Amino acid sequence: MKKIFSVLFIAAFIFTMLTACGSRSSESSGDSAAVSAFDGSSAAVSASEEEAEDEAETQDEENYDTGDASLDDPRNADGIGEDELMVVSFGTSYNDSRRLTIGAIESAIEEAFPEWSVRRGFTSQIIIDHVLRRDGVAIDNVGQALDRAVENGVRRLVVQPTHLMNGFEYNDLVDEVAQYADAFDAVAIGEPLLTSDEDFAAVAAAIVEATAEYDDGSTAIVFMGHGTEAESNGVYSRMQQVLTDAGNANYFIGTVEAEPSVEDVLAAVKKGSYSRVVLRPLMIVAGDHANNDMAGDEEESWKSAFEGAGYDVECLVNGLGELESIRRLFVQHAQAAVDSLGQGREPVCGDSLKDGVYEIAVDSSSSMFNIDKCVLTVENGQMTAAMTMGGTGYLYVYMGTSREAEAAGEDSYISFTEDENGAHTFTVPVEALDRETACAAFSKKKEMWYDRTLVFRSDSLPREAFADGTFVTAESLGLADGSYTLEVTLSGGSSRAGVESPAQMTVEDGTAMVTIVWSSSSYDYMKVDGVQYDFDGDGSNSTFVIPVPCFDVPVPVQADTIAMSTPHEIEYTLCFDSSTIQVQS
């Protein structure tokens, strides 16, 4: 079965988060840095991993009261089913904040996706080790969480980061998940919190609403982010602009480790006639940065800086993850990732296919119902599928649910046939392709029915299998030779990749060729109908000239990414909208 790796391992899927304090390099700043609520991206730090561990041990000795770890669910149970939604965070060892932010986000996603098992993965090993050493609570790192998913037989995996923005950490996550691409049938990664224009507007509205009671005309409301030396640090100035444009001139955004600095924010506040300052972290969790760099009594803290300038200061030590509107935004991003796994499939009935015998791919909801090979027979608009199983554990199948099978008579059961190698084959009716079909299977060992869901995939059939006139082509549209533009939609992959649209298209002798320009430079070839097309362009982004086999339906393509340690072919679909075709002047 072809794997759909919905992850743009390229220069898209970027990992810069907010759930703690930096990238792997920022982990090395110790638990007092690694424990924090990172929002940002992976600012480089000078401390080594050994120094970080020493600092974590020192914090253990100081015995900070961060709450009861037993109240937080590490979400590392087994027996989780075949659909998993992994929530990945940098992490924090502040137990109460972890439960009220990361845990609350996980719970919101779990409530929104009751059919999916929600699991946790942290990227900071220092935090994981610190919590285990101090509290005896085991939290999976991303690799352990992925291994657990494989061992549990997960087939569809969605990874939703709880990060503020796109940055270095996101790329690290993508690279790690990429190593498991072949372990799942489909993988998708959700967007960080601040990705689209709509995200910025929603987050700005959320933080304004959360602090509305302090907006009395004489109070400056200051949000402290983490900051990074990376280009993604621009999210802070962008958020400032969104707030200002919305009429919130008394709201200010600064960072701990980049710009705007506390000095920059203080200078901006001094330009107004404010007597009071409210400080709150622009971070998913309220960890070390919020408790110490922002609200601490030390001379270097933001609280001390504003008090030293004569302001009455109030600190709100609450992570963004405590806000329902922020959790709702993460749910929306997870929904988009889940939706991307099944985009572009409309049921295909037998009358859309030519009579014949075709090998077809089948998605099974259970790894225990393993189909080694399936052959589809089409005759006079009717379809049957001969499914050759990978084992001999089932005596019968029934096209329906287990409850329906138990109520039906044995005459309705479908028995297997056995070939010379002892393989079992069940031949079943198929009403439509690309539609979830209930199939109950009777276990020989357990002597009971089990529910399975099958999807017979039309995208695995050769185009010649489809009836004439099924597809809209350049020839059927009567396109004259010449140059055109049209809208192109990309699906699959990580949902972070993109292609330029409108795209340039040329038609010659009834054959349409389109120029695909990716949002990344990380692809070296594409395949359409098994034919490889190499890089064709002199721009910085990967560019290919490929045929347009048909319009208005998803066209499966493969693109080979070289962004990881080893190249990977990733499955995508392109849809070319014939209604948008325009002659290029």
Judge whether residue 414 has pLDDT over 80.
Answer: yes
What average pLDDT does this structure show over 531-536? 92
* Residue with the two structure tokens 């509205």: 205
Q: Which of 74-78, 308-312, 497-501 has the lowest mean pLDDT?
A: 497-501
Of the two residues 537 and 333, the one the predictor is more confident about is: 333
Q: What is the pLDDT of residues 219-265, one digit of tens each?
A: 999 999 988 776 677 889 999 999 999 999 999 999 998 899 999 99
pLDDT number for residue 546: 97
DSSP 8-state code for residue 463: G
Of the two residues 512 and 197, the one the predictor is more confident about is: 512
What average pLDDT does this structure show over 19-40? 33
Question: For residue 361, what are the contacts with CB-CB under 8 A and spacing of at least 6?
Answer: 1, 2, 374, 456, 457, 459, 460
Phi first, then psi, for residue 200 (nearest 5°) are -60, -45
What average pLDDT does this structure show over 83-96? 94
Q: What is the pLDDT of residues 254-286, one digit of tens each?
A: 999 889 999 999 999 999 999 999 999 999 999
Judge whether residue 415 has pLDDT over 90.
Answer: yes
What average pLDDT does this structure show over 481-499? 82
Judge whether residue 98 has pLDDT over 60.
Answer: yes
Q: Which of 57-71, 139-153, 192-206, 265-279 has the lowest mean pLDDT?
A: 57-71
What average pLDDT does this structure show over 177-187? 79
Judge whether residue 310 has pLDDT over 90.
Answer: yes
Mean pLDDT, the chain, rounded, equals 84
Judge whether residue 34 has pLDDT over 60.
Answer: no
Reading the block at residue 289, the tokens are: 């940065």
- Residue 470 near residue 349 (C-beta atoms within 8 A): no
Judge whether residue 52 has pLDDT over 80.
Answer: no
Dump strand ranges (E) for 143-275: 156-161, 186-189, 219-225, 251-255
Question: For residue 549, what are the contacts with CB-CB under 8 A and spacing of at least 6?
Answer: 463, 471, 473, 528, 529, 555
How far is 526 from 567, CA to CA, in rounded Å?
Answer: 12
CA angle 63, 65, 66 (to 5 degrees): 120
What average pLDDT does this structure show over 142-146? 94
Judge whether residue 126 has pLDDT over 50.
Answer: yes
68 alpha-carbon distance from chain centroid: 30
How far is 377 from 397, CA to CA, in rounded Å?
Answer: 19
C-alpha distances (whole Å) from 86 to each of 18, 117, 148, 242, 518 are 17, 8, 11, 31, 28
Q: Which of 265-274, 308-317, 389-398, 555-564 has the lowest mean pLDDT?
A: 555-564
pLDDT number for residue 22: 35
Which residues are the active-site residues?
Answer: 226
Domain with CATH 2.60.40.1850 in the chain: 354-465, 474-583
Judge whether residue 155 has pLDDT over 70.
Answer: yes
Judge whether residue 418 has pLDDT over 50.
Answer: yes
Q: What is the pLDDT of residues 71-85, one digit of tens each?
A: 999 999 888 888 999
What average pLDDT does this structure show over 482-494? 85
pLDDT number for residue 493: 61
CATH 3.40.50.1820 fits 4-193+327-339, yes or no: no
What average pLDDT does this structure show over 464-493? 89
Reading the block at residue 537, the tokens are: 């362009």
Judge whether residue 15 has pLDDT over 70.
Answer: no
113 alpha-carbon distance from chain centroid: 14
How far is 451 from 455, CA to CA, in rounded Å?
Answer: 14
Taking only Cα atoms into account, the Rg of the chain, rounded to an integer number of angstroms, comes to 27
CB atoms under 10 Å from CB of 531, counted, come to: 9
How far is 155 from 152, CA to CA, in rounded Å?
Answer: 9
How far is 411 from 387, CA to CA, in rounded Å?
Answer: 20
- Residue 488 near residue 548 (C-beta atoms within 8 A): no
CATH 3.40.718.10 fits 354-465, yes or no: no
pLDDT number for residue 565: 64
Does a cis peptide bond (omega within 30 degrees of 0) precede residue 549?
no
pLDDT number for residue 345: 56
Judge whether residue 51 has pLDDT over 80.
Answer: no
CB atoms under 10 Å from CB of 508, counted, come to: 11
Judge whether residue 301 has pLDDT over 90.
Answer: yes
Share of the chain above pLDDT 90, in %: 59
Q: Which of 61-70, 89-98, 356-365 has the lowest mean pLDDT?
A: 61-70
How far is 54 from 129, CA to CA, in rounded Å?
Answer: 12
Q: How confident is the model at residue 342 (pLDDT cuts 50, 70, 90)?
A: low
What average pLDDT does this structure show over 189-207? 90
Looking at domain 197-322, which of 3.40.50.150, 3.40.30.10, 3.40.50.1400, 3.90.420.10 is its CATH number?
A: 3.40.50.1400
Share of the chain above pLDDT 70, in %: 85
pLDDT number for residue 569: 85
Computed from CA positions of residues 259, 260, 264, 265, in that sequence, does the dihedral angle turn out positive or negative? negative
Domain with CATH 3.40.50.1400 in the chain: 4-193+327-339, 197-322
- Residue 1 near residue 13 (C-beta atoms within 8 A): no
CA angle 570, 572, 577 (to 5 degrees): 160
- In terms of DSSP H, where are the helices of 124-186? 125-135, 142-151, 168-178
Of the two residues 400 and 470, the one the predictor is more confident about is: 400
Of the two residues 13 and 445, the one the predictor is more confident about is: 445
> What strands, in cross-sheet order, belong to the sheet with 437-443?
361-364, 449-457, 437-443, 394-398, 414-415
Please give the full DSSP string across 6-38, using - where no structure is assigned.
E--TTTSS-BB-SSSS-SHHHHTT-HHHHTS--
CATH classification code of 474-583: 2.60.40.1850
Q: Which of 36-45, 218-227, 237-246, 532-541 has the lowest mean pLDDT?
A: 36-45
- Residue 223 near residue 245 (C-beta atoms within 8 A): no
C-alpha distances (whole Å) from 338 to each of 85, 115, 157, 492 are 9, 12, 9, 11
Q: What is the pLDDT of residues 423-438, one digit of tens each?
A: 999 999 999 998 888 8
Does a cis peptide bond (omega within 30 degrees of 0) precede residue 502?
yes
- Residue 163 near residue 15 (C-beta atoms within 8 A): yes
What average pLDDT does this structure show over 302-318? 96
